[in-house]
Amino acid sequence: MPADNLIDGRAIASQLLGELAARISLLKSRGIRPGLAFVRVGEDPASKVYVGRKEKTCSELGILSETHVLPATATEAELLGLLEQLNQNPHLHGILVQAPLPPQIRQSIVYSAILPEKDVDGFHPVSMGKLLLGDTGGFVPCTPAGVVELLARSGISTTGAEVVVLGRGNIVGKPLAALLCQKHRLANATVTLCHSASRNIKAHCLRADIIVAAMGVPEFLKADMVRPGATVIDVGVNRVPDPSAKSGSRLVGDVDFAAVQPIAGRITPNPGGVGPMTIAMLMQNTVRAGENACR
């Protein structure tokens, strides 16, 4: 199957970042440079890579960024103290705490400690509450926002569509389901949220116009679960053993891509699909935070 059914997340993200450049220039003309703080706890290799990519994008756009690294042994109180300093810094408009966090630190407490106006990750209870209520004044989590943008800019309408979201996590599944069912031109979907306790997931998927796989299970979505012509969005990032790889492992998504691509009407590659959009939406949230600060 030729690649003409691929949704190019890199190209769409590049387009979005290009649009942000004008907004950043306007802010700078008013004496404001958008600022974003990254916080890591420990030396998780994947976290270092993810933060590095975000730092690189900030540099390319002219967004001020700084990274704070605490040891893996840091206490919750130490992290909260750092966040309070960042909350009070007027040059920083956004704060992102990179997951995962060590077991002694409660993620929910950390997300609640960031000021809602600096919550560019969209995980503060206020942000989540506004999302559920359809209040556009809050920040939307970056990956769900990226999925919606990816669909919209690919000409895939969600209005009246049957959408199956695989996974009920707080980072992707639940906020995406909330986004897609809003009364909005980029939503208006009928959403089914499937999870590990769902019965007959295959039957739900075969009914779907759009399937978003975000379960964290390697290659979970198989060809016999997809209706011909359906749109498939793969959010998963899973490391699986691969003796032929130099590292002994490789990354795969939640979709059995080789088998599903010939059946799907449109499909995201992995990598090169949702990942670049997540970073682009983080940059958009940061720019918006900077704009809000000068109102």
Domain boundaries, the chain: 35-114, 142-275
Confidence (pLDDT) at 172:
97
| Tokens describing residue 287 | 């720019």
Q: What is the largest CA-CA distance in the chain?
A: 56
For residues 23 and 30, the answer to whether their CB atoms sit within 8 Å is no
98 is catalytic: yes
Question: What is the model's pLDDT at position 146?
Answer: 98
Can you spell out the DSSP letters for 192-244?
A: EEE-TT-S-HHHHHHT-SEEEE-S--TT-B-GGGS-TT-EEEE---EEEE-TT
In single-letter form, the type of residue at position 277 comes to M
Q: Is 56 a catalytic residue?
A: no
pLDDT-flagged residues of the chain (< 70): 1-3
Residues in a beta bridge with 238 = 252
Instruction: Give pLDDT, residue 235.
Output: 97
**In this predicted structure, what is the pLDDT of residue 262?**
97
121 tagged catalytic:
yes
Q: Which of 8, 118, 119, 121 is catalytic?
A: 121
pLDDT at 1: 41
Q: Let me know if the fold of 35-114 is the same as that of 142-275.
A: yes
* DSSP structural state of residue 159: T
- Can you tell me the distance from the alpha carbon of 257 to that of 267, in angstroms, rounded to the nearest whole number? 9
Helix (H) or strand (E) holding 93: none
CA angle 183-134-112, nearest 5°? 155
Q: Which CATH superfamily is domain 35-114 in?
A: Leucine Dehydrogenase, chain A, domain 1 (3.40.50.10860)
Q: Per the residue annotation, which of 54, 118, 130, 174 is the catalytic one?
A: 54
Distance CA 34, CA 53 (A): 17
Tell me 116's DSSP state: G
What's the token pair of residue 246? Answer: 């130099």
The values of phi and psi at residue 5, to 5°, are -100, 5
CA trace torsion 38, 42, 48, 50 (10° rounding): -60
Q: Which amino acid is at 53?
A: R
pLDDT of residue 205: 98
Residue 2, pLDDT score:
47
Which superfamily does CATH assign the domain made up of 142-275 to? Answer: NAD(P)-binding Rossmann-like Domain (3.40.50.720)
Choose, from 8, 98, 256, 261, the residue flagged as catalytic: 98
The pTM of the full predicted model, rounded to 2 decimals, is 0.95
Q: What is the pLDDT of residue 242?
A: 87
